């Protein structure tokens, strides 16, 4: 049985190696597995925890110790989520779309490629 290395798995391996070389932080998910801080799994776990804590907090009476506890917990979880999203942007930068020939900028068929290059300079 051959084990083909998929693109997704290769990306995971590269990100893990980059993470460990930089002394990156680990996040323990609710299920107990450790994932790199800022990874999609980490972000999803933090969002799930925020949803759960919000639901629990909303069930508490106003001005109770329980509600104060959940408000403090939510503050920490939201701060962690912001940091994880920032780290996630570093780990998974968004790619801007490159212009294509279908763009209005390139719709003039009479201009040659040389003219476009000269005009760009």
Please give the Cα distance from 42 to 52 (Å, whole number): 15
Q: Is the pLDDT of residue 58 over 70?
A: yes
Please name which of 66, 31, 30, 26 lies closest in space to residue 46, comparing C-alpha atoms.
Answer: 30
- Encode pLDDT of 77-111 as tens digits: 999 999 999 988 877 776 655 555 555 555 555 55
The confidence score (pLDDT) of residue 9 equals 79
The confidence score (pLDDT) of residue 1 equals 46
pTM, full prediction: 0.62
Which helix (H) or strand (E) segment holds residue 118: the answer is helix 113-120
The confidence score (pLDDT) of residue 36 equals 87
Indicate the average pLDDT of the chain. 81
């Amino acid at each position: 049985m051959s084990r083909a290395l998929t693109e997704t798995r290769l990306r995971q391996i590269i990100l893990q190696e980059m993470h460990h070389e930089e002394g990156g932080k680990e996040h323990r998910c609710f299920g107990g597995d450790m994932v790199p801080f800022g990874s999609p799994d980490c972000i999803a776990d933090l969002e799930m925890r925020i949803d759960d804590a919000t639901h629990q907090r909303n069930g508490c009476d106003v001005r109770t110790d329980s509600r104060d506890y959940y408000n403090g917990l939510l503050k920490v979880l939201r701060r962690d989520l912001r940091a994880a999203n920032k780290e996630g942007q570093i780990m998974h930068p968004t790619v801007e779309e490159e212009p294509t020939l279908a763009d209005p900028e390139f719709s003039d068929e009479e201009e040659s490629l040389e003219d476009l290059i000269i005009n760009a300079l």
